[in-house]
Structure 1
Amino acid sequence: MRRALAALILTAPLLLPAASRPALAQAESREGIYLQNQILQLRQELDQARRGGSALGGPAPSVAPRAGGGAPQGEMVGALLDRVTALEEEVRRLRGRLEEAEYRGRTLAQTVEKLQGDMDYRFQQMEGQGGRSGSPAAAPSRPAPPPAAPAPTAAAPAAA
C-alpha cells in the first residue's frame, strides 16, 4: 500500500504537465485561429480596397504610381496608413468635443444645484419673516361661528 502511494506521488509531477498540454495547445490554437481570422479579414479589406471600394465606408484610397516604379502594395500600405491617421485625428477631435460637452453638463448641473439651494434658503427666510410680523402664520384667525339653533323655552313641555 505504501509503495503504491509512493509511486503515485512520484509519478504525479510527471503526469501533470502531460495533462496540461491539451489546455496549452488549445490556448495556442485559439490564438492561432484568432490571428488567422485577423489576417483573413485584412486580406479581404485589402482586396476590397483594390477593387475600388473601401471597407471603412469612405472613398477608396487613390493609389498614384510613384516615379521610381514602387510596388503597388507599398503604396497601398501608405494610403491605408494615411487613412488610419485621419481616422485617429477624427477620433481625437470627437473625444475633445465629448469632453467639452460633459464639462458643460457638469457645470450646468452644479449651477442648477446652487440656484435651487439659494431659492430654498430665500423661501425659508421669507417664511421666517412672515411669522414674526404679527399673528402666527400657521394659525390664521377664523370668524366666529354662527349661533346654534335657538334654545328651548321653559314653558314648552319636555318630551320624555
Structure 2
Amino acid sequence: MLQLLKRLQAASALLVLDEIDKVGEGKQNGNLLDGILPLLTPDAARYFDTYLECPVDLSGMSYIATANDLSGMRRTHAALLDRFRVYTMPSPRREDLPVLVHGVLAEICAERGVDEAWVAPLTGEELGLVEHHWRGRSVRGVRRLVEAVLAGREALATRM
C-alpha cells in the first residue's frame, strides 16, 4: 500500500482486490487475507510496517473486494468478511441475455475502436444461437459467444 501511495503521490487510494475468494490458502510465505485484515480497521492509522520497522498511516486507503463465492471465506476468514459490506449480485438469467449481449457488443466495439453505429446488433437468429450455447452464470461465456458470432459474420462477409 505504501508503494501505491508513493507512486500516486497521494495520501489516499482505492485498492481493488479482484476475486479475493481465489487467493491461495498456503501460509508458507504468508497469506494475503491474513495480511490485509489489520488494514481494514480504524487502527490502520497506526499500522506498524515490519519491513520499514516504523508506524505508517494507511487510514487514507479504501478497499473494494470482489468474489464469485464466499462460502469458503466464511469458513476460513469470517473476520475478514465482517470488515466488508457485502453486496450479492444475482447470476445472469436467460431473460437477461439481450441486455448482456448489447453490453458485451458495445464493449467489444470500444475495444476495437469501432463506433457501435457501424456494427449491427445481433439478429434474432444470432441471439438464439447465443442463448442455445450459453451454459449460464458467466458473462465471460456470453462474451465468447458474441465474439464467435462476430467472427462468423466476418468470415461470411462478402469481400470486394
TM-score (norm. length: structure 1)? 0.21
The structure with the greater share of residues assigned to strand is: 2
TM-score (norm. length: structure 2)? 0.21
The structure with the greater share of residues assigned to helix is: 1
Q: Which has the higher contact order (CA 8 A, sep 6+)?
A: 2
